[in-house]
Amino acid sequence: MDIPFSDRQKSIISSAITGLALLTLFLLAAYTFKGIVQFLATFSSVLLPLATAGVLSMLLRPVYQFLTQKRRFPPVAAIASIMLLLLLPGIIIFGVFGGLVVSQINELVTNIPETWENLKIWMHANAPALELYLDHIGGWEKIQEWLEGQSGTLISLAAVGGQGVISMVGSVVNLFSWAVLPVYLIFMLLAPMFSYEKLEEFMPFIKKDQRDDVIFLIRQFVDIVVVFFRGQLLIAFAQGGMMAVGFSIIGLPYGFILGLIFGMLNLVPYLGNLIGMLITLPLAWFCADGGLGMLIGVLVTLGIVQVVEGYVLTPRIMGKSTGLHPMAVIFAMFFWGTALSGMLGLILAIPLTAFLVVFWRLAKEKYLPKLKELPAE
**282-315 pLDDT, tens per residue?**
888 877 788 899 999 999 999 999 999 888 888 8
pLDDT tens digits, 86-103: 888 777 767 666 666 667
119-143 pLDDT, tens digit each: 777 777 777 776 676 676 665 555 5
pLDDT greater than 70 at residue 366: yes
Q: How confident is the model at residue 33 (pLDDT cuts 50, 70, 90)?
A: confident
Task: Read off the pLDDT of each residue in 338-363 and give the average, rounded to a whole number.
Answer: 82
Judged against a pLDDT cut of 50, whether residue 151 lies above it is answered with no
Mean pLDDT taken over the chain: 78
Residue 210's pLDDT band (cuts 50, 70, 90) = confident
In this prediction, residue 239 has a pLDDT band, given cuts at 50, 70 and 90, of very high
Q: Note the pLDDT of residue 165.
A: 44
SS (H, E, C) the chain: CCCCCCHHHHHHHHHHHHHHHHHHHHHHHHHHHHHHHHHHHHCHHHHHHHHHHHHHHHHHHHHHHHHHHHCCCCHHHHHHHHHHHHHHHHHHHHHHHHHHHHHHHHHHHHHHHHHHHHHHHHHHHHCHHHHHHHHHHCHHHHHHHHHHHHHHHHHHHHHHCHHHHHHHHHHHHHHCCHHHHHHHHHHHHHCCCCCCHHHHHHCCCCCHHHHHHHHHHHHHHHHHHHHHHHHHHHHHHHHHHHHHHHHHHHCCCCHHHHHHHHHHHCCCCCHHHHHHHHHHHHHHHHCCCCCHHHHHHHHHHHHHHHHHHHHHHHHHHHCCCCCCCHHHHHHHHHHHHHHCCCHHHHHHHHHHHHHHHHHHHHHHHHHHHHHHCCCCC
Would you place residue 253 in the very low, low, confident or very high pLDDT band (cuts 50, 70, 90)?
confident
Does residue 171 carry a pLDDT above 50? Answer: no
